[in-house]
Amino acid sequence: MRIIWNSFHGRFSDSPRALWERLAGRPDIEHCWLADPAHRAAFPAEVTTVDIASPQAVALLETADLLVANTHTELEWRKSPRTTYVQTWHGTPLKRIHRDVLWAPEGRLDRLDRDVAKWDLLLSPNPVSTSRLVGAFRYGGEVLESGYPRNDLLSDPAAEAVGRQVRAGLGIPADATVVLYTPTWRDNEVFADGSPAVPLMLDVERFSEALGPDHVLLVRAHNMVTGRSEVARTPHVHDVSYFPDVRDLYCAADVLVTDYSSTMFDFAVTGRPIVHYAYDLEDFQSSIRGFYFDLLPEAPGPVVRTTDEVVDVIRDIDATVAAHADRYAAFRERYTCLEDGRAGERVLEQLGLLSSTPATTAC
């Protein structure tokens, strides 16, 4: 059996990685990852890769028994009748996606629709998201409400060791408070003529100065804009945009700061504090992308507009947690009800790659 893996157009990460980890080493399966040369160093030495932009990648796709991807596979390839294409997608949607967006470059959605037409199985992270995903993609195929395999680690005791390893690799003291900042992308920046630099709207120097050396900031640019934001270099700020997998960064983080990224739904599995730095909330909601629901009443943490406000809520994080405990609990019940550490098992069982059906957490 030949399985081709694709995560974020050529990275070793996300739900494809989590599923691969469960199957690696089986002698009856041949694995190959589509790899972006800029991220090739993140793949383990024993993993077979092919340049995602090469003719070899197309040839492999056309001979695959199974393709597992977490986003559109943006290559022109002919799908064989024997190929099963599993689309894990890559996040619970707060932001509108695909045909639901407010604006997209001319022709882009039509081109991506050719990929959607090849999907055989779409994963949904929770019942709330199923109708949103199906509607946005105009998808009429099979859907599995499984939770996200990438989040299985967050419910596993091994997460603690992974967090320690990440901290050690970055030189972060064990007793430091680690804040992970994960802003999403904005269509008007990504598709701007000439691919200009994308400003980092959190003042990291001010953040570091205000909170001192016992707080460490990890800045994770969205995969759509990796390398286009300049992160000020200070002893307590790390640019982790090229770190292989944000899942492992969750394990190392004590607090998440984001805006409208789906990282909020993943990080909620940990039960740790979430702060929303929503400096452009009205513009994003009304003219840039749009939302499926109003963030303000559902947000599991404070929604703030300035770097100083971010600093203030982190400085008094215990009070922040207490003030939002009820909303956080409701958010977790609504969006993480399937995140029980067994999503990967459910997916592999559905594909006939496991022999027994794991129990499903009720939502």
- Give the CATH number for residue 291: 3.40.50.12580
The reply to whether 136 and 174 lie within a common domain is: no
The reply to whether 110 and 162 lie within a common domain is: no
The reply to whether 344 and 319 lie within a common domain is: no
The reply to whether 167 and 298 lie within a common domain is: yes
Report d(CA 208, CA 232) in Å as an integer: 10
Structural domain contains residue 358 = no
Alpha helices in 2-122, H assignment, sequence order: 14-23, 55-61, 108-116
Tell me the per-residue pLDDT of 257-267, one tens digit each, with 9 for 90 and over.
999 999 999 99
The reply to whether 176 and 122 lie within a common domain is: no
Residues in the chain: 363
Structurally, the chain folds into a number of domains equal to 2
Structural domain contains residue 360 = no
| pLDDT confidence of residue 21 | 97
| pLDDT confidence of residue 30 | 97
**Res. 52: pLDDT tops 80:** yes
pLDDT confidence tier of residue 234, bands split at 50, 70 and 90: confident
| pLDDT confidence of residue 358 | 60
The reply to whether 179 and 324 lie within a common domain is: yes
Report d(CA 319, CA 253) in Å as an integer: 19
| pLDDT confidence of residue 195 | 86
pLDDT confidence tier of residue 356, bands split at 50, 70 and 90: low
The reply to whether 74 and 203 lie within a common domain is: no
The reply to whether 141 and 223 lie within a common domain is: no
Report d(CA 313, CA 275) in Å as an integer: 8
Tell me the per-residue pLDDT of 149-202, one tens digit each, with 9 for 90 and over.
999 999 999 999 999 999 999 999 999 999 999 999 999 999 999 889 999 999
Q: Is residue 228 within 8 Å of 186, Cβ to Cβ? A: no
Show the domain range for 66: 2-151+339-350
The reply to whether 87 and 116 lie within a common domain is: yes
Query: CB 111: neighbour CB atoms within 10 A?
Result: 12
- Give the CATH number for residue 114: 3.40.50.11820
Report d(CA 79, CA 120) in Å as an integer: 11
Residues whose CB is less than 8 angstroms from the CB of residue 45 and which lie 6 or more positions away in sequence, other chains included: none
Reduced to 3 states (helix: H, G, I; strand: E, B; else coil), residue 272 is: coil
**Res. 359: pLDDT tops 70:** no
The contacts found for 283-290 with CB under 8 angstroms, 24 or more apart, are 284/186, 284/259, 284/260, 287/102, 288/102, 288/103, 288/186, 288/187, 288/188, 289/95, 289/96, 289/101, 289/102, 289/186, 289/187, 289/260, 290/95, 290/96, 290/100, 290/101, 290/102
**Token representation of residue 274:** 């979430």
The reply to whether 280 and 331 lie within a common domain is: yes
The reply to whether 193 and 303 lie within a common domain is: yes
Q: How many helices (H) and strands (E) does the chain have?
A: 15, 13
Structural domain contains residue 190 = yes
According to DSSP, the residues that pair with 239 across neighbouring strands are: 219
**Res. 236: pLDDT tops 70:** yes
